[in-house]
Structure 1
């Protein structure tokens, strides 16, 4: 076999094989505890930063993706949120959402959470709700 042909083929195989390791965006398993932790971190952060007297909760995950980055894992989500009848008392409080859509119309949020699980570190990098 011609050595001049083997090297380019080997490089191409390695490039395509490593495409989804570092830097590639992949769908995240919503049942993975690390994905759930990132969602809970966002919900707590969202509630602390909002001007509302009442808590909101994630009611539906429409899209969940993950990306390995140099300093950890980046999670990207698109979720549906709704208000609850519970007043803000703490970041871990869980309440049922209003069933009446007039009292609590759903709204959509997209956000990114960077995690470094070995340091128990979470950082909200971007968040937009409408």
Structure 2
């Protein structure tokens, strides 16, 4: 590296990795306990990484990047 300009950072960046799988519940069924699909192809888990930018003093939070893989 020849030159790296300084950066002014005003917030927190979080990198969150989660394992997710499909269920038979609909999005509006938040009150239910949802089990993973019985069909093995539909039940295959995803590994997802989310980059989240937070500036709590501005009451702002946003997902800046997301990637999911089987």
Q: Same fold (TM over 0.5)?
A: yes
Question: Taking structure 1 as reference, are residues 101 and 107 closer, same or farther at Cα in structure 2, changes over 3 Å only?
Answer: farther
**Structure with greater Cα Rg:** 1
Question: Taking structure 1 as reference, are residues 108 and 101 closer, same or farther at Cα in structure 2, changes over 3 Å only?
Answer: farther
Q: 1:45 aligns to what?
A: none
Residue 72 of structure 1 pairs with residue 4 of structure 2: no
Structure 1 position 108, deviation (Å)? 0.8
Map 1:81-92 onto structure 2 (within 5 A).
Answer: 81-89=20-28
Q: Structure 1: any 5+ residue segments left out of the alignment? A: 1-68
Question: Taking structure 1 as reference, are residues 78 and 87 closer, same or farther at Cα in structure 2, changes over 3 Å only?
Answer: same
Q: TM-score, normalised by structure 2?
A: 0.65
Q: Structure 2: any 5+ residue segments left out of the alignment? A: 1-7
Task: Find 1:109's aligned residue among 31, 44, 48.
Answer: 48
Q: TM-score, normalised by structure 1?
A: 0.39
Residue 98 of structure 1 pairs with residue 36 of structure 2: yes
Task: Find 1:127's aligned residue among 62, 66, 69.
Answer: 66
RMSD (Å) for aligned C-alpha atoms: 2.7
CA separation in 2, counterparts of 1:85 and 1:120?
A: 34
More helix by share: 1
CA separation in 1, counterparts of 2:35 and 2:57?
A: 33
Q: Which has the higher contact order (CA 8 A, sep 6+)?
A: 2
